[in-house]
Amino acid sequence: MTEPKTTPSRALLELVSSMRFAIALLTVICIASVIGTVIKQHEPASNYVNQFGPFWSDVFLTARLNAVYSAPWFLLILAFLVVSTSLCIARNTPKILADLRSLKEDIREQSLRAFHHRAQAQLAGETPEGAAQRIGHSLASGGWKVKLQQRGDTGWMVAARTGAANKLGYLAAHSAIVLVCLGGLLDGDLIVRAQMWLGNKTPFTGGGMIADVPQQHRLASNNPTFRGNLLVAEGTQSSTAVLTQSNGILLQELPFSVELKKFTVEHYSTGMPKLFASEIVIHDRETGKQVPARVEVNRPASYKGIEIYQSSFDDGGSAVKLAALPMDGRGKRFEIEGTIGGTSPLTRGQGGGADKMTLEYTGLRVMNVEDLGAGAGAADTARMDLRGGLEARLGAANKTQSKKELRNVGPSITYKLRDAAGQAREFHNYMLPIELGEGVPVFLLGMRETPADSFRYLRVPADENGTLEGFLRLRAALADAALREQAVQSYAVKATDPAKPELARQLAASTGRALAIFAGASPTGAGRANGGLQAISDFLEANVPEAERARAGEVLVRILNGALFELAQLARERDGLKPMVFNEQAQRFMTQAVLALSDVHAYPADLAFQLKDFKQVQASVFQVTRSPGHYIVYLGCALLILGVFAMLYVRERRAWVWLARTGEATEATLAMSSNRQVMDNDREFAQLKQALLGVSP
């Protein structure tokens, strides 16, 4: 008899429904999940370029590794896993059900002698039928499923089975995989993508108001599943959630609107937030019903099958007043007002010398908890003399590592200056001076070129009144050639013997050259720093032999210290202020001021905007989800637990007793089998021999 020929379709069906195919799919899904955990999802493309480089970023974006869980190939693998496991269940369920119904009572009596667990005994005074009834009743009372079979005049076969839940565990575990995958597909991006493919919905990539976004970028309120973010400012309502896609956004209409009455944030003693809570009112768009609710982290509100989670908080359009400070200390100062998220145009001469600039208010933070544990190390750096700074070529933003110390340092403003070509730099300035251990509080003026960069901060010392005026006055004086010359002559006269005028002239010439180089008023040549300590260092390297640089640097630093102090005194005198008393506090101010004057040459804007006043408006960011698939996932998890427990801890055992008449007695043959060989089988078989056959262990 020939076997039926295997067709390609049957071979494909065998492959898809095989265990090895399902395991291969599970392996790929596990690897993809690891990738999705390691690589940040749904980030801007520029972030991947900065982190991985142009080549690998193109590979990641092409393979959709930036959005693994919504990638078509990932959804396709999940779908194949569902199909494969379903086919596997369909193929094996009839066999399992048939096996559950069968007690294999047709087994031959000779086959019982081949079992590992077997025993024989003579049952005196019992007929085969009576013994079969007794043994069957005993097994049934012990939880076994029993069937008796009479085989003509030769004897009786007693067949029994227990632990059938082991087979059901197989079906439960495999069904759980199907349910979990279906729940994941239902609650994932599959439904949204289906609407994009079949309903002509496309992601929106432009800007502007939400109300102006066209209909082809919006999803209906009856969308069965979605997960998006909803931003609501205090005192306002919103009914449109934003679904972030890799190439834009989709807008999800909600069947209700959320009004934020009050946003509350509680803080620890360090200033770190410990509780976010939103008092909201849900307005039903159909009935007009108003439902008050409170949303906290891990305590969502629910309405019409949509869960509202507290995701984070943001600025809701706070009003700010900024003071524009010219970094050269000589330009026009003015104040400007705006709202976070808005912009203000800057006229000629206001925005750093450009014809047209735009000031964009991007963020206000009322509390800033920073790690100031490096204070001890920073203090050591600030107290060292300028020679150490010159030799190490360190600016005012040098840091050391130390134990963490969290402290609230007050409000800060983040803004961007965008030129006419659309290029922008981002700035982050603190409102109040911060004590970092230098001995004098400093204002932190941060800047970065791209969002992928970290902010670099210019440390500007606060004067005796806690303002930037002292530094700006000194910066303006440093740019004044006539005032520099007065400071040079004053320092030369004070630092030399009046009886040696020639020495005073030589010192004045050296001081004037050093001060001009430091101020950036002396040509330094191509490729060299234009001002600051770096310019002096370049000058020493170009004009002083290496063996004499240390001595020359020490002399120049001493000269620079003295000349700048005289320059500060002259600037104060010009503005009608009292002279600075030369004490430890004044020395610390001058030390930090010189470091800031050195670094200010690298500051890319002519204006710094300092936060003067604000009126905060809070906003809550809610995550709104409709996820009916999670009930399916819960059911799948329950089945998985039951299935694994049944397969691991439930043993299927089968027992047979053959009873035949031999002379005046009945001969009994007992055999037992189990799907797992464990020590409990020996103990249980011994108990069966004792209970059924009367054979002592």
The domains of the chain are located at: 12-98, 106-163+651-693, 207-224+226-314+618-626, 319-463+609-615, 474-602
Q: Compute the distance between CA of residue 684 and CA of residue 604 in angstroms, rounded to an integer.
A: 85
- Report the alpha-carbon distance of residue 357 to residue 518 in Å, rounded: 30
Residues 147 and 160: their CA atoms lie apart, in Å, by: 6
CA distances from 168 to 136, 303, 495, 643, 648 (A): 24, 38, 99, 7, 12
- In angstroms, what CA-CA distances link 324 with 50, 516, 599? 32, 27, 20
User: What pLDDT shows up at residue 271?
Assistant: 64
The answer to whether the CB of 446 falls within 8 A of the CB of 409 is no
Which pLDDT score is estimated for 376?
37
Alpha carbon distances (Å) from 590 to 98, 159, 328, 593: 93, 100, 17, 5
Query: Whole-angstrom Cα distance, residue 590 to residue 471?
Result: 9
Ramachandran region, residue 121 (left: φ > 0; alpha: ψ -120 to 50; beta: rest): beta
**How far is residue 490 CA from its own chain's centroid?**
59
Beta bridge partners of 306: 303
Percent pLDDT > 90 in the chain is 35
| Residue pointed to by tokens 């544990």 | 373
Non-local CB neighbours of 75 within 8 Å, separated by 6+ positions? 185, 188, 189, 190, 193
Q: What pLDDT shows up at residue 39?
A: 86
In degrees and rounded to multiples of 5, residue 78 shows phi and psi of -60, -45
| Total length of the chain | 697
Mean pLDDT of the region 432-459? 89
Please give the sequence-ordered ranges of beta strands (E in DSSP) within 169-245, or none if there are none.
Answer: 218-219, 226-233, 237-245
Q: What global pTM score does this model have?
A: 0.65
User: What single letter denotes the amino acid at residue 87?
Assistant: L
Tell me: pLDDT of 294 over 90.
yes
Which pLDDT belongs to residue 393? Answer: 45
Q: Which class for 152: exposed (0-12), middle (13-18), buried (19 or more C-beta within 10 A)?
A: exposed
Cα 154 off chain centre by: 76
What is the C-alpha separation between 331 and 277, in angstroms, rounded?
46
How many helices (H) and strands (E) in the chain? 17, 25
Locate tokens 């050639």: which residue?
Answer: 481
Cβ atoms 63, 55 nearer than 8 A: no
Is the pLDDT confidence value at 380 over 60?
no
**Distance (Å, whole) CA 624 – CA 253:** 11
CA distances from 244 to 61, 218, 250 (A): 16, 12, 7
Band (pLDDT 50/70/90 cuts) for residue 510 is confident
Class of 207-224+226-314+618-626 per CATH? mainly beta
pLDDT at residue 229 in the model: 92
Give the confidence band of 373 by pLDDT, cuts at 50, 70, 90.
Answer: low
Instruction: Say whether 523 sits in a helix, a strand or coil.
Output: coil
**HEC profile for 13-74?**
HHHHCCHHHHHHHHHHHHHHHHHHHHCCCCCCHHHHHHHHHHHHHHHHHHCCHHHHHHCHHH
Cα–Cα distance measured from residue 347 to residue 324, given in angstroms and rounded to the nearest whole number: 13
What's the token pair of residue 201?
A: 């919905």
The predicted structure's pLDDT at residue 349: 56
d(CA 71, CA 33): 12
What is the model's pLDDT at position 4?
A: 55
Report the side by side order of strands in the sheet with 343-346: 343-346, 357-365, 412-419, 424-430, 442-448, 456-461
The string of DSSP letters for 138-181 reads: HHHHTT-EEEEEEETTTEEEEEEEE-THHHHHHHHHHHHHHHHH
Q: What is the CA radius of gyration of the chain?
A: 41
Distance CA(422)–CA(682), nearest Å, equals: 83
SS in 3 state form for 266-304? EECCCCCEEEEEEEEEEEECCCCCEEEEEEECCECEEEC
- Interatomic CA distance for residues 199 and 588, integer angstroms: 68
**461 within 8 A of 475, measured Cβ to Cβ:** no
- Distances in Å between the Cα of 33 and the Cα atoms of 38, 39, 56, 480 are 9, 10, 19, 63
CB–CB of 241/268 below 8 Å?
A: no
Distances (CA, A) of 643 to 30, 169, 433, 640: 21, 4, 63, 5
Give yes or no for residue 307 having a pLDDT over 90: yes
d(CA 371, CA 406): 5
Q: SS3 of 430, please?
A: strand
- Measured distance CA(575)–CA(115) in Å, rounded: 110
- Could you give the 3-state DSSP secondary structure of residue 445? strand
pLDDT per residue over 581-631, tens digit each? 888 888 899 989 989 998 888 898 889 999 999 999 989 999 999 988 888
- At 303 the pLDDT is 93
Evaluate whether 657 touches 669 at the Cβ level (below 8 Å).
Answer: yes
Bridge partner residues of 289 (DSSP): none
Paired tokens of 159: 């067949």
Q: Is the pLDDT of residue 395 over 70?
A: no
- Mean pLDDT for all residues in the chain: 85
With beta carbons less than 8 A apart as the criterion, state whether 498 and 458 touch.
no
CB 88 within 8 A of CB 19: yes
Fold of domain 106-163+651-693: TATA-Binding Protein (3.30.310)
295 DSSP β-pair partners: 278
Please name the residue that has the structure tokens 């933070």.
365
Measure CA 223 to chain center.
Answer: 28
Dig out the tokens for 463 from the structure: 């004067």
Q: Do domains 106-163+651-693 and 207-224+226-314+618-626 have the same CATH topology?
A: no
Q: Provide the percentage of residues in the chain whose pLDDT is more than 70.
A: 91
Q: Are strands 618-626 and 607-615 parallel, antiparallel or unpaired?
A: unpaired
25-44 pLDDT per residue, tens: 989 988 988 988 888 877 77
Q: What is the pLDDT of residue 684?
A: 92
Q: What is the pLDDT of residues 517-554, one digit of tens each?
A: 888 877 655 555 577 888 888 888 888 888 888 888 88
What integer pLDDT is reported at residue 410 of this predicted model? Answer: 87
Query: What residues have CB less than 8 Å from 73, skipping those under 6 apart?
Result: 63, 64
